Copies of this chain bind each other. A is one copy, B any other.
Amino acid sequence: MAVGNIPFPTMPVLEGVRLGSAMAGIKKAGQRDLVVVELPEASSMAGVFTRNAFCAAPVQVAKEHLAACREQQQAPRYWLINTGNANAGTGAQGLADARESCRALAHAVGVPEHKVLPFSTGVIGEPLPMQALLAGIAPALSACDSQSVAWEQAAEGILTTDTRIKGASVEVPVGDSHITINGFAKGSGMIRPDMATMLGFVVTDAAVEQSLLERLLRDAVDRSFNCITVDSDTSTNDACLLAATGRGAAVTSAADIGALASGLEKVLVALAQAIIRDGEGATKFVTLDVSGATTRQEALGVAFTVAHSPLVKTALYASDANWGRILAAVGRSPVADFDVERVTIDLDEVRLVENGGRAPGYTEAAGSAVMAREEITIRIDLGRGDDGATVWTSDLSHEYVSINADYRS
């Protein structure tokens, strides 16, 4: 199942950027599971990673290598990504395996080891199948290409329970010229990113100074990947990387920085929404739009409480306008001195709740008509301030249980 039909876009060529993938046998035979992304010299790069305390070995190594490059005022040249195994909960052996993977690719292309960042996704707690992974590096390298199909195959080569490849691309005018931002991502379950989701890879040809790039990525992630949830479970492997090759226009003026920030947010929101549309077992795409909060944090607290409620999610699955469950979830949200008399709740154009109870004009027929839709916005106005937040989520279906009860079998 997946909601809506969002095709993979044609990805413009980014000079100096090549992607190659292979079927290394880490996942199942005949499935793309190993990806190499090559970036040009003199790129800048920013990354955000999971805050899960049990963060995976590749996340630890990627952060180390990124820091080592930054000290030398350089950026990594390669991303090495495998699916089929998360290399998380694997202790000292996992760290050794992640380092050895980087070393093997670094040796093959003639760069220092710290210029390779490793990423893994898949089942947690199994040792990384090193023989298959190492043997896959050469074919992935020889498949490297800059055309759109290479992006598409790379997007395919990082999927786990995803049913679709996920990509986004925008062009942003900068001065007399324009820059391009291409990104791809994976994610379907264990999705409640707390920094970014496992995994997002974004490249632009803009020339952007390192610290600015970091700030732009953090801000965009906070309004995209950090605003989605499928099942409230934060992955051990979440990571989102952004590289700027510098081959295109330089971004320095306030106006251009604003344009880049907005383009970047567009790409990340599109990828984040694609993850929700392809959420495990998803039959609905739900936007939670909370306003009237005293702070953005408060609005996010309400939005995530509703988005995580199994009772709200099963009502959405059943297309049942059981709005009492939304009210109950709002009521248990972390809001201090909550005056529920001021709260209004709307499903698309239908007012559900006001003055602490059901809105006078509400009819079951009107509620059911909205709930039958595949895409629904739940608007919650807390009536106590001027801040707000938007969060995207999916429903809880039989298929979600089946997928996660059968994942390893």
List B contacts of A365 (CB < 8 A).
Answer: none
State whether the Cβ of A2 lies closer than 8 Å to any Cβ in chain B: no
- Complex Cα distance, B401 from A308, in Å, reads 14
Total contacting residues, chain A, CB less than 8 A: 65
Query: A190–B236 contact, CB under 8 A?
Result: no
Is A381 part of the contact surface with B, judged by Cβ < 8 Å? no
Task: Please pick, from B89, B325, B335, B398, the residue contacting A401 in the complex, using a CB distance under 8 A.
Answer: B398
Residue A355 is within 8 A (CB to CB) of chain B in the complex: yes
**Contact in complex: A310, B232 (CB < 8 Å):** yes
- Residues of chain B within 8 A of A355, CB atoms compared: 91-92
Interface residues in chain A, defined as those with a beta carbon under 8 Å from any beta carbon in chain B: 51-55, 86, 88-94, 123-125, 189-190, 194, 231-236, 308-311, 314-315, 317-318, 320, 322-325, 327-333, 335, 338, 340, 353, 355-358, 396-398, 400-402, 404-409
Cβ of A63 to closest chain B Cβ, rounded Å: 15
CB pair B124–A328 under 8 Å, yes or no, is yes
- Provide 20 A-B residue pairs closer than 8 Å at the C-beta atoms, listed in order of the A residue: A53-B332, A54-B330, A86-B324, A124-B328, A125-B324, A125-B358, A194-B332, A233-B311, A233-B329, A234-B328, A308-B308, A310-B396, A314-B401, A314-B405, A315-B404, A315-B405, A317-B405, A320-B408, A322-B407, A397-B401
B90 touches A358 (CB 8 A): yes
Taking a contact as CB atoms under 8 Å apart, the answer to whether A331 and B94 are in contact is: no
| B233 close to A310 (CB less than 8 A) | yes
The answer to whether A332 and B51 touch across the interface, beta carbons within 8 angstroms, is yes
Q: Are A190 and B317 in contact (CB under 8 A)?
A: no
Whether the pair B404, A401 counts as a contact (CB closer than 8 A) is no
Contact check, B51 vs A327: say whether CB atoms are below 8 A apart: no
Given contacts A53-B331, A89-B324, contact A94 B236 (CB under 8 A): no
Q: A310-B404, A355-B91 are in contact. Are A55 and B331 (CB under 8 A)?
A: yes
- In chain B, what residue has the closest Cβ to A320? B408
A52's partner among B86, B194, B331 (CB-CB below 8 A) is: B331
| Complex contacts, A325 vs chain B, CB 8 Å | 124, 190, 233
Instruction: Return A332 CB to nearest CB of chain B, in Å.
Output: 4
Assess whether B125 is in contact with A190, with CB atoms less than 8 Å apart. Answer: no
